[in-house]
Chains A and B, each alone.
Chain A
Amino acid sequence: MAQVVAVATGKGGVGKSSIAAAVAGVLAAKKKHIAVVELDPQGDLADDLGCRDDAAHDGGEAVTAAIRTGAPLGPGIQARERLTYYPGGPALEALNRTPGWSGLDSKLGESIAKLKGYDLVLIDTPPSAEALQHVSLAAAQHLLIPTAVDTSSLRALYAIATRLVEVEAVNPDLAFLGVVLWNVPTAASRIRADARQTLNEILGDTVPLLDTTVRSAFATAYECRRRGMLPHELARLQGGNEPFWKALAEGRSPDRVPTSALSLAGDYTRLAKEITDLLEAAR
C-alpha cells in the first residue's frame, strides 16, 4: 500500500508545491510510481508539472468529489512516466468556502486508499485554507513541512502543528516526517547555519530537521515554471546547451539553461533520497 505524505505548512511561498513536484519527479525518474494530489485552489502545481493546458485538467473537480464522497480519483493526468497528477483548482475554493465546513469529515483518505500500484502519494496543500489543510492531514500518514529561514515562516510551523492536533481525532496515526529548509541562498552560509540552529532548538526531538537544504536558484525556478519542467529535467538539458554565440551569429535568441539547474536538481535528488529513507524506516 502506498505511503501518503502531506506537504504542508501554515504559510505560502515556502516551497510546498515546488518540493512536491520536484520530489515526485525525481522519484518517478527512479522507477517509483508516484501520485500527487493537489488540494490548492490556485492549482500552481500544474505549472510546475507543465500540465496547465492538459485536456484532462478538471480544475479540481475529481479531487473535490473525492473529498465529499470518497469517490475514486479517476485517471488523473499522466504528468510524467510513472507520475500521476490529480489537479486542484477553483472547485476546491468553492468547497473551502462552504459555511461551517471544517474538512474533518473528508473522505479523501478513502479515495486515496483506492489508488492501486503507487509507491508514494504526495498531497500538496494550500497555505491558509484551514479546512483543506484538515483534509490533507486527515488523509496522510506523514507530514513534511517546508520552511524558509525567516521568522514568519518559522511561526507557520506552529500553525500546521495546531492543525495536526486538530485532526488527531480522525487520524491518530499522522506523524511528522520532517522539516526541510527551502530557498536558502548558497552564499548565505551564516544565515543557513543560524536557521538550522534555530530550527534544531525549536524542533527538539519532536520533528527531525532534514539534512538537505534546498538552495535558492531563482533563474532555474523561473525557467522551470516557464517551460513546465522540473529541475532535474532542466539540468539534463544543461549538457546539451548550444553555445550561445552560435545562436547569436544566426540571429536567434540563445536558449540557455541556467547554470544553477544542476545544483538545484542535486538538492532535490538528495531530498528525495532522504524522504525515501525516512519513509522506509517508518514502515
Chain B
Amino acid sequence: MSSQPAGLPKLGDHLARLHQRPAEPPAPAEEATRPADVSEVAEPAARTPRRPRLVVDPEVGERTPKVLPGPRLEDAPSMTPVVTAVPVDSSQSDGATVKTSFSIPGRCLERLRQLAHDRHMSQADTLMYELARLEAEAVPEEPMETLVGKFTVSAPARAHETITILPMRLSAKNLAALEELRERLHLPSRSALVAKALTTP
C-alpha cells in the first residue's frame, strides 16, 4: 500500500504544472493589495488534482531502513576528527549506556529505591552517588584468598537472604569507574560492591 498522503502529488508534476502556467509576477509583499485571482478559486484545474494512488514498488514497500555507518572520519586521515567515539563494549549498548545487572540482597534494593525516591534521583544516579560515598569512606578489604579463577574461599554466606536482580543502564564511564572501585576495594564482584555501597550506613 502506498504511504503517500492523499493530495500530495509528485513534486515533478507540481513543477511541470508551474512551468505550464503562464508566468505570473511574484506576489507583492503586501498581500492585501493583491487583487484576488478569481480563476484560481473557480477553476477546478487550479486545485491540486486527486491523483490515483500509486502502486508501490514492492522493493520500496518492503525495504528496511538502511543501516547507516557511524562517523567514518578515519576514512580521511587528513581531516581533524570531529567526534570522539566513546567505546562501549556491549552488544546491548544503545551507544551511550550499557545494560547490566547486579545480584543484591532484597534489603539493598529497598534501600536504593528509598534513597532514589527521597533524593528525586534515578536509581542509577543514586547508586553512583552511594558508590562515590563508599569510595571516600571505605577502607580496602584484605584481598580474599582465591581457589581457582574467581571463586573465593571466604565469601561470606548469608543465610535466609533473598537475592534480587537489579537491572540497570550505566554509562560506559560509570561502569568503568565502578569496576575500578571494585578492584581497589578488593571485592569479588560488582554485585558485592553494589551491595556494600547500599549497606554501608
Q: How far is the CA of A189 from the CA of B15 in the complex (A)?
A: 31
Flag if A197 contacts B61 (CB, 8 Å). Answer: yes
Chain B contacts for A102, CB-based, 8 A:
25-29
Known: A151-B8, A197-B60. A244 touches B125 (CB 8 A): yes
Q: Is the interface of A mostly helix, strand, loop or mixed?
A: helix
Flag if A30 contacts B76 (CB, 8 Å). Answer: yes
Flag if B128 contacts A244 (CB, 8 Å). Answer: yes
Chain A contacts for B8, CB-based, 8 A:
151, 154-155, 198, 202
Q: Is the interface of B mostly helix, strand, loop or mixed?
A: loop
Chain B contacts for A131, CB-based, 8 A:
26, 29
Q: Which of A60-68, A118-126, A158-166 contacts B (4 or more CB under 8 A)?
A: A158-166
User: Which size bracket describes the interface of B in this complex?
Assistant: 35 or more
Flag if A31 contacts B26 (CB, 8 Å). Answer: no
A205 part of interface (Cβ distance < 8 Å)? yes
A251 part of interface (Cβ distance < 8 Å)? no
A154 to chain B, nearest CB (A): 6
Chain B contacts for A30, CB-based, 8 A:
76, 79-80, 82
Flag if B11 contacts A158 (CB, 8 Å). Answer: yes
B contacts, CB < 8 Å to A: 2-5, 8-12, 14-15, 18-19, 23, 25-30, 33, 54, 56, 60-61, 63-66, 68-73, 76, 78-80, 82-86, 95-97, 125, 128-129, 131-133, 136, 171, 173-174, 177
A contacts, CB < 8 Å to B: 26, 29-31, 96-104, 130-131, 134, 151, 154-155, 157-158, 161-162, 164-166, 169, 189, 192-194, 196-198, 200-207, 211-213, 232, 235-236, 238-239, 241, 243-246, 248-249, 259-260, 262-263, 265-266, 269-270, 273
